[in-house]
Chains A and B, each alone.
Chain A
């Protein structure tokens, strides 16, 4: 069901018209983004439907350049009057900003869009009746509750789906549009034993419901994760090897992404600024950004400036090869855009990633753990204690202690700390378990040593 008064098919024409109006009003260049989305979500809890949400919305954004000055605006009102106001607003604001010698659109030769089907959109999920979506969520939760008597409660399970459309037009003649869809099932069971209460979650996600892991598996995995946290203790403060499971390893990639973001580089606000060509990580590490892989969650035919996405080796065998750049940061650094422009619907483009991942190694996670006498297997990280400027790293951690090559007992209320520089160079093992469940993906990673602070 859609609420959009204007159909997706009509949006490119509106975007083109916005750009035309902006140029007519005095813009030397203009970019218009229109985003629309329909969302659906069903949550069940303890076997009963709890919430059902269904709706859609859209918005348009405009960025204009008058010479080297920029102005930007957005609106959710796509009526002719709403659009006229948006254009007027952006033009007016351009008079208030400062000339920026590096401002501007990409070079004409850089515009483009990947051809071929990126498999980002499927209409299948829309055909799945609401009752069935609710039933899938109920099955996931029921499976979690049935795993063990210690699964006593649940924060629920849900079926979520969305369909999104994105249109981009600029005054150099670029016009592109694409749609994407996703659906997911998740479960959050709660385990209790001897006054200890723990929750955890698991999920499955796909472009189309037919690609989802079955609901029972999601529920059982979530329950197993919550159960293994029961009775967690705080350990002594010590330095030990630390293993990040894929779900926590991907947060390290998030930190590296922030550190290769072109904006942090030109401001000298990253510990990786000026390090191109240098060895910054263990040679086992090859880290790639690739927005071109069909079906994956970080893929798109063009970035938010109308430049085609591509594959960029960011770290190759431990050597920093490339930052991630949009047109502006590339000009500041005297480099070329890597097709990583990203923005909401308005304003100057920031930096985003496509599929950002570490290439898999050859050993299984079990083999990696077997080689550790005393160490920490991290299953969850909380807090924001990462400083990209200095590389200082300190976060709250939950996990399982490794004793003589086995997962021995659960641990919580501890922190792990070090610096990202040491951590990257200290990567000692990379697992073979790379899975693309999100736009940032990592296999199991083992670091030689970090400080675990506890008692």
Chain B
């Protein structure tokens, strides 16, 4: 598809000439670089509670963000009205970051290479709403049928279709259509008059609705959520203090996101405020660890054809055999530090300034058998699922909260334990990785990453991993 057939050209009559005019307006006061980010977002959501479809919502938002960079300064303005006078006005406001006569010749816009990591003909948000309601209802039925101890089920289904257009003063013109869908199931179970316990599961990606009919069915997510709630009914107190910890494959990859991922975002490193600043080439993890951030995996929640600054996403090696290799760059940081862009500039919406962010972050598989890894531990904790995490990038301290974990006693998983937070220090924690499994798994597609008030969808993944020392925040 060429620009003249693209969404913003056909639906809003925006021409190449218009874009060039807005960009020169933005550079009118002497800025070095300008870009425009047009966004049209259509969303749909369904919520089931007590087996009642209590809510069905649809909506649209649209707007354009204008950014001007002058040296290390950024001016930003946006408009939720795409009329030429409003866009020009936003461009004039953003232009104020620079003071002087226009100095940069704008490069004629040229369309970028086309590829499609999510060849979705009909996005889930373009299907009949009724079909989506029925999928959510199936999850409700399945969770209730799983076990008589299940007494509450909530199902949320949400999808979106985002149309974006990026035009830059250095001549880049890119547009993309980004479908996304997710189903989440939350279950409460109780034995007799006992304390209720919760289980949670969900997943999705940039797929057709068929994904939920064939790949990951509502019954799959429902069964997983119900199973977790039932397991927790027998949970004992979690241990407190340093333990051997084994992370199961998949979602426990959130460790990488918190322990290293954020600390490698170029904005923090350019400013020298990350625990990883100035450590390229140093050993920051055990030689068994190779960590990748890859925005190009087909259909994944964290994948994008182009980032929110118009650059193609790519596969970036963050840590190779324990050695720190690279940072995640956005346009501003790569301009200032003369680094090669990594396609990591992302933003929540047209109202937000892009920054370096992760896409899908995971560790490459090793060669240990996962069963042997568990067998190698006389006493420790096995974590199968996490609720999320957080990091202080300056001190490097990070946490992630286990939602399903088990005691390991004499090389066997024994009792499930209650929720506990694990804590470690980024550049240190992964030095204690002593075994890496051959079972790399990516998460199911529910991740949301927050940074400086902006949320973006991401993915994580990890094989089974043994960490010889990590502090577990239990009470026992």
Contact = CB atoms under 8 A, between A and B. Distances in A.
Interface of A: 1, 3, 5, 45, 48-55, 57-59, 61, 70-77, 85-86, 89-90, 92-94, 96-100, 103, 130, 153, 155, 190, 196-199, 229, 232, 234, 237, 267-269, 271, 346-348, 380, 382-385, 387, 389-390, 392, 394-396, 398, 412-418, 451, 453-455
Contacts of B93: 1, 54-55
Contacts of B73: 48-52
Given A52-B73, A52-B76, A96-B53, A75 B59 contact: yes
Given A74-B59, A390-B196, A5 B81 contact: yes
Contacts of B106: none
Interface string B264-285: 0000000111010000000000
B21 interface: no
B79 interface: yes
A385 B62 CA distance: 36
Contact of A268 (B54, B59, B188): B188
Contacts of B57: 71-74, 93, 346-347
Q: Which of B78, B154, B273 has the most CB of A within 10 A?
A: B273
A234 B242 CA distance: 11
Given A98-B52, A389-B197, A390-B195, A51 B81 contact: no
Contacts of A190: 272-273, 394
Given A3-B89, A57-B80, 20 more contacts: A5-B83, A48-B72, A53-B353, A54-B93, A76-B62, A77-B60, A86-B59, A97-B133, A155-B394, A199-B395, A267-B50, A268-B152, A382-B391, A383-B389, A383-B390, A394-B474, A395-B473, A414-B471, A415-B421, A418-B475
Given A55-B77, A55-B90, A96 B60 contact: no
11 contacts: A5-B81, A50-B72, A50-B74, A51-B74, A54-B76, A70-B55, A76-B62, A387-B198, A389-B188, A415-B240, A451-B475
Q: Which of A49, A52, A232 has the most CB of B within 10 A?
A: A52
A389 B198 contact: yes
B358 interface: no
Given A51-B76, A268-B196, A417 B473 contact: yes
B270 to A, nearest CB: 10
B29 interface: no
A53 B76 contact: yes
B468 interface: no
B149 to A, nearest CB: 13
A97 B56 contact: yes
Secondary structure of the B contact surface, majority rule: strand
Contacts of B394: 155, 190, 197-199
A104 B86 CA distance: 39
A74 B425 CA distance: 43
A417 B240 contact: yes
Interface in B360-419: 387-392, 394-395, 397-401, 418-419
Interface of B: 49-63, 72-81, 83, 86, 89-90, 93, 96-97, 129-130, 133, 151-152, 154, 188, 190, 195-198, 238, 240-242, 271-273, 275, 351, 353, 387-392, 394-395, 397-401, 418-421, 423-425, 471-475
Contact of A398 (B89, B154, B397): B397
A209 B392 CA distance: 30
Contact of A57 (B60, B351, B391, B418): B351
Contacts of A387: 198, 418-419
B58 A73 contact: yes
Contacts of B272: 153, 190
A102 B253 CA distance: 42
Contacts of A71: 56-57
Contacts of B400: 383
A267 B50 CA distance: 8
A162 B319 CA distance: 41
Please give me the 10 A-B residue pairs with the lowest Cβ-Cβ distance, nearest first: A415-B473, A383-B399, A74-B59, A396-B399, A237-B241, A385-B421, A385-B401, A453-B240, A76-B61, A93-B56
Contacts of B97: 49, 51-52
Given A59-B61, A73-B58, A394-B473, A269 B196 contact: yes
Given A50-B72, A268-B188, A454 B241 contact: yes
Contact of A100 (B54, B241, B475): B54
Contacts of A55: 76-79, 90, 93, 351
Contact of A45 (B271, B275, B423): B271
